[in-house]
Structure 1
Amino acid sequence: MQETGLEPDIAIRIALGTSLFVILLNSISVALKYHEKHAVQWKQATLMGIVGSITSFGGAAVASRLSALTLSTIFGIVVIIGALKIYVTPAVRENGEISSNQMLYILAGVSIGFFSGLLGIGGGVIAIPIMLIFLHFDMRKAVGTSSAVIMFTSFGGSIGYIINGIGQPGLPPYSLGYINLIDWILLVIPGFFGARKGADIAHVVNPEHLKHLFVLLMIYVGLKMIGII
């Protein structure tokens, strides 16, 4: 991160905040795409999302006070644990019944939102394991519904990174708090089209294969953030 010319702590906060702001627009597009394929449980997504947007704001506030090393280590550990949990969870549920326990959805929203804001990840790598393991979603509905939840959590987290970054010394030009608008523009357009294409592909891929691809990606990212690879 020193290659950017920024202090490591500032650089990682900008990376997380800008990432969330990119995810905000992309998640809206992806959620609508999954909605067309009947893969979004909107009632559950809205409950988790509203709760998550509040705790995402809090996660962003915590992240603005942690060091780069601490943030990257937490990120890596959380992602790897999520990957391992997904690996041992069936991608397809035989009974097709998702949980109806409202309290579980509220607790899920708290967890998804907090880690979304803390780690600048929108919440997918947290939401999908929770939906698969505790809420009994199948893989496709977990991916589709998580995209709807991410609309809320990325919004709350983005606001948190803006507010906590305003007036901080060492920010690069064209920054809105910890969100760099130049980087956002460069990332959001290709990300928008890539995310929609990914949603199309995910819907036709075998759910078990989709799960394995997701697990491999999560483990790679987690190990990279910890510094093992």
Structure 2
Amino acid sequence: MLSIILFIILSILGGLAAGWVAGLFGIGGGSISVPLFLITLPLLGAKGDLVMHQAIATSLIVIVPSAFSATRKQYKQRNINVKFLFSWLPWVVVGVVGASFFIIKVPAKTLEILFAAYLFLAAVYIFFKGNPKVPQDHVPKGMIKNIGAILVGVISTFLGIGGGTFTVPFLIACKYPLVKSIAISSATGLVIGLFGSICAAINGLGQPNLALFSIGYVNILAACLMAPFSMYTAQFGAKLSHEMNPNLLKILYSFFLLLVVLYMCWEVFGK
């Protein structure tokens, strides 16, 4: 009983923190939720190599409410090119579904190392990147678009993130405007969260040593506790981000990610 109470408290606090960080830095909460679930899910009985798989799967479903809210807002502001979106998303789904059935064969330590590497590269990228100015309105087409969408789906499913770290830079590299790239990224995160969590729930059915209140690899209790609180605090983080110096914001974001990298390294090599 005590472990469940502790789980509830940590999940609520984690949801508050994840939403605030997501709003402040303009990222998904996966950089907080995945490491947090590695700590909290064992409190509900999760054991062994499948804890990381559960953390990733649960992180994916937590993405859905905030991604839906962001997508609806972007659509109302007419930032979403619907024709391009409908040609982009099917390939994202291909990547998500393919990765979902492959990830169950990947050792937990490998996933943890990949997650730490992703955070480190994201920290370096954010620290050194400039403010992109893309006057063109070029719509990515053909094989390049399809391959990019598949890779976004695969990588995001492996890491338990919404894919914004990859979607936005890819579309900008294709000379797609920044504002429209962010809008496409929001819808992409919604699809990744939905299809990724559904596949994880199916793939995890009947697996041993899963946390209580789970459907397959997806922990419903954690998702229900984190999602509403993260959506609530995201608005305050976003408001603060507009009041801060952009260079200071980049430094803080990079430092935050490096702290999470250190924790993940301890998770992999220190235990």
Normalising TM by the smaller chain, what interval? 0.7 to 0.9
What is the aligned partner in structure 2 of residue 142 from structure 1? 181
Seen in structure 2, the aligned counterparts of structure 1 residues 17 and 191 have a Cα distance that, compared at 3 Å, is same
Per the TM alignment, residue 85 of structure 1 is displaced from its structure 2 partner at its CA by: 3.8
**How far apart, CA to CA, are the structure 1 residues paired with 2:250 and 2:87?**
25
**Residue by residue, what CA displacement relative to the aligned partner does 1:163-186 show, whole Å, maximum 9, x if unpaired?**
110000111222111011111110
Per the TM alignment, residue 38 of structure 1 is displaced from its structure 2 partner at its CA by: 3.9
Compare CA radii of gyration and give the structure with the larger one: 2
- After the TM superposition, which residues 15-164 of structure 1 pair with which residues of structure 2 at under 5 Å, given as runs? 15-132=55-172, 134-164=173-203
Tell me if structure 2 keeps the 8 A contact 1:122–1:150: yes
**How far apart, CA to CA, are the structure 1 residues paired with 2:203 and 2:226?**
22
Tell me if structure 2 keeps the 8 A contact 1:91–1:207: no
Q: Which sections of structure 2, spanning at least 5 residues, go unmatched? A: 1-37
Q: Once structures 1 and 2 are overlaid, which stretch shifts more, 4-13 or 68-77?
A: 4-13
Is 1:176 equivalent to 2:215 in the alignment? Answer: yes
What is the aligned partner in structure 2 of residue 187 from structure 1? 226
Per the TM alignment, residue 224 of structure 1 is displaced from its structure 2 partner at its CA by: 3.4
**Residue by residue, what CA displacement relative to the aligned partner does 1:31-56 show, whole Å, maximum 9, x if unpaired?**
11233344434433333322112211
**Residue by residue, what CA displacement relative to the aligned partner does 1:44-74 show, whole Å, maximum 9, x if unpaired?**
3333322112211222222222222211110
Q: Which sections of structure 1, spanning at least 5 residues, go unmatched? A: none
Tell me if structure 1 keeps the 8 A contact 2:47–2:210: no
- Aligned residue pairs, count: 228
Q: CA RMSD in A?
A: 3.1
**TM-score, length of structure 2 as denominator length:** 0.70
Alignment-mate amino acid for residue 226 of structure 2: L
**How far apart, CA to CA, are the structure 2 residues paired with 1:47 and 1:219?**
36
Seen in structure 2, the aligned counterparts of structure 1 residues 205 and 136 have a Cα distance that, compared at 3 Å, is farther
**Residue by residue, what CA displacement relative to the aligned partner does 1:134-193 show, whole Å, maximum 9, x if unpaired?**
223454443332111111122221122111100001112221110111111101111233
Tell me if structure 2 keeps the 8 A contact 1:71–1:119: yes
**TM-score, length of structure 1 as denominator length:** 0.81
**How far apart, CA to CA, are the structure 1 residues paired with 2:158 and 2:61?**
14
Alignment-mate amino acid for residue 179 of structure 1: V
Seen in structure 2, the aligned counterparts of structure 1 residues 54 and 35 have a Cα distance that, compared at 3 Å, is same
Seen in structure 2, the aligned counterparts of structure 1 residues 216 and 60 have a Cα distance that, compared at 3 Å, is farther
Per the TM alignment, residue 131 of structure 1 is displaced from its structure 2 partner at its CA by: 2.7
What is the aligned partner in structure 2 of residue 10 from structure 1? 50
Is 1:225 equivalent to 2:257 in the alignment? Answer: no
Alignment-mate amino acid for residue 48 of structure 1: W
Seen in structure 2, the aligned counterparts of structure 1 residues 123 and 171 have a Cα distance that, compared at 3 Å, is same
- Identity over aligned pairs, percent: 26
Per the TM alignment, residue 77 of structure 1 is displaced from its structure 2 partner at its CA by: 1.1
**How far apart, CA to CA, are the structure 2 residues paired with 1:150 and 1:60?**
15
Alignment-mate amino acid for residue 203 of structure 2: N
Alignment-mate amino acid for residue 69 of structure 1: K
